[in-house]
Amino acid sequence: MISSFAEQVTNLQRLAPELVLCFFGILIMVVDPFVGAARKKSMGWLGLVGSVVALVSIRCAGVNPGAAYSDLMRVDRFSVFVHYIVVGAAILAILGSLNYLEDEGIQRGEFYALILFATAGMGIMAGANELITAFVGLEMSSIATYVLVGFRRRALKSNEASLKYFLLGSFATAFFLYGIAMVYGATGSTKMDAVQAVLRGAGSSVPAIAMLGLALIFVGLGFKVVIAPFQIYGPDVYEGAPTPVTALLASAPKAATFALMLRIFYVAFGSAGHLWFWAIWISAVLTMFIGNLAALAQTNVKRMLAYSSIAHAGYILVAFAASTDLGIAAVLFYLAAYVLMKVGAFLVVTHLGQQGEKRLELQDYAGMSTKQPVLSACFSLFLLSLLGLPATAGFLGKFFAFQSALDVRNPWIVWLVVIAAINSVIGAYYYLRVIIAMYFWAPAQDYAPTAVAPALTTALVIASAGTLYLGLLPGRILTLAKAAADSLALR
């Protein structure tokens, strides 16, 4: 098949964000050896420039929606929305890493290159219209993050986390790949539309092999978004990883993987919704309860936030289970809100951990509000948003998720929402506990506050402004999310 020059240009344009990310990633790798050890931080700035350019190029790709590379990739409003989330999270993570790496003495160029490659992989996942392409994206992001998790080479926990993540993650991707094979066997294609057409034609008698394939895909992707019963590794990895990496890990891959799950479940397997509904339902209930109840027992703030991100994946599944256009819009809105508040929270933890990530326990936060009032207020905002307090992004995320679910009028979904509501009250306790420590406890004596670096300040300002913006004036983002959901449904 010979494609015209114009077609090639269009292909490149539609793949622009990934190309930009990879270009800057490679650029960093090439330039890095020529930069002296003292000036490695400049690689971080280069990475930042790369990701900002990528953010701009999303728009460039978005103005010309359509298929790219013989329909392996799709640029639609849905993929554009997810791209913004993913690249935005990467920018925040890079801003948070600049000084962190400096303090830890592990300032290296490849760190930023890996973040860019991982982000490119996630971008591919968000736009993939074909399962093998999705697999390539998944692997790209996974392998880069395996390395990032172990980036504090001299820290035992970081190594442990990396190894755990790598071994279990490889298993999960293998499951995913095996699932793709099954789906191909059953339907004769790996393209979403083709699978959709075959399954629609089959009507209610969906081939068992295809469903088995979907189950395996669910295992593989469920592992990546850390939902029960595949969540065991999550807190260990999140706790061991360098905190800015945790911020990235807890946000961007989740968004990208949820996007991929939506495409596979809702588009390709949409006609089998009644069959996968229960998997999602049960997983949602387990995820919420496990995440929240385990978080109650944590004294380490970083680990607590890790469990809380499991719980949030559960709330997202509630909207997922609704499996309507409104539900997809709610998932997307939730993801945007979630990324802002979660990355913000982890970045605060990054700063307060101080060198060597020593100060992560709850008692280390005692009386922080008297010593660092602005940072404490910022952290409280993120925590209250995670809790779901009105006027913050987290509330509206839950609000739309619950609303879309109640809209379905299926009694089981109503129960799911009731369970989610009870869970968000359970969750309130552990978020409030951190606020109690910061505001109500007497200050810890040995605590010497350090100044917040400008880069981190920028990231925190962006995250908290975003959290408030989505909480008070969500109209615009909600419209975009709805349009994105429509673009997914229209196909």
Partner 1 sequence: MESHSLLLTIVTFLPLLGVLALLCLRGQDHTWIRRIALAASLAEFVISLFLLRGFDLSSANYQFQESHPWIGQAIHYHIGIDGISLFLVLLTTFLTPLAILASWRSIHDRVKGFFISLLVLEMGLIGVFVSLDLFLFFVFWEVMLIPMYFIIGIWGHERRIYAAVKFILYTMLGSILMLLAILWLYNAAGTFDLASIERMLQSGSLVFSRSTEMWLFLAFFFAFAIKVPLFPFHTWLPDAHTDAPTAGSVILAGVMLKLGTYGMLRFCLPLFPDAAHRAAPVVGVLAIIGIVYGALVATVQRDLKRLVAYTSVSHLGFVVLGIFAFDPTAIQGAIYQMLNHGVSTGALFLGVGMLYDRRHTHEIKEFGGLASPMPVLMSLFLFICLSSLALPPLNGFIGEFLILIGTFHHHHQWASWAASGAVLSAIYLLWAYQRVALGEVTVEKNRKLPDASRRERTILITMAAVIIFMGVASPLFTRRMAVSVDNTLQQMTRVQSASREGRARLAAQAKARNPAQPPSRGGFSAVAERLVRP
Q: Virtual CA dihedral for 186, 187, 190, 192, nearest 10 degrees? A: -130
Q: Is residue 389 involved in binding partner 1 (CB under 8 A)?
A: yes
Which of 145, 424, 464, 467: binder of partner 1 (CB under 8 A)?
Answer: 424
Q: How far apart are CA 401 and CA 185, in angstroms?
A: 35
Residue 65 has phi, psi (to 5 degrees) of -70, 155
In the complex with partner 1, the residue whose CB is nearer, 351 or 482, is 482
Residue 128 has phi, psi (to 5 degrees) of -65, 135
Q: How far is the CB of 369 from partner 1 (least distance, A)?
A: 8
Q: How far is the CB of 297 from partner 1 (least distance, A)?
A: 16
Which of 64, 355, 370, 450: binder of partner 1 (CB under 8 A)?
Answer: 370
Select from 151-159, 304-312, 338-346, 403-411 the region that touches partner 1 (CB under 8 A). 403-411
Select from 221, 27, 239, 52 the least CA-distant residue to 139: 221
Size of the site for partner 1 (CB under 8 A): 31
3-state helix, strand, coil in the chain (%, to 5): 80, 0, 15
Three-state DSSP string of 380-446: HHHHHHHHCCCCCHHHHHHHHHHHHHHCCCCHHHHHHHHHHHHHHHHHHHHHHHHHHHHHHCCCCCC
Residues 431-490 that bind partner 1 (CB under 8 A): 432, 436, 439-440, 473-475, 478-479
DSSP character at residue 452: P
Q: Is residue 395 involved in binding partner 1 (CB under 8 A)?
A: yes
In the complex with partner 1, the residue whose CB is nearer, 16 or 416, is 416
Select from 228-236, 244-252, 309-317, 383-391 the region that touches partner 1 (CB under 8 A). 383-391
Which of 45, 278, 412, 429: binder of partner 1 (CB under 8 A)?
Answer: 429
Which of 269, 402, 462, 467: binder of partner 1 (CB under 8 A)?
Answer: 402
DSSP result, 226-255: T-TTS-THHHHHHHHS-HHHHHHHHHHHHH
Select from 136-144, 234-242, 342-350, 390-398 the region that touches partner 1 (CB under 8 A). 390-398
Binding site for partner 1 (CB under 8 A): 370, 384, 389-391, 395-396, 399, 402-403, 406-407, 409, 411, 417-418, 421-422, 424-425, 428-429, 432, 436, 439-440, 473-475, 478-479
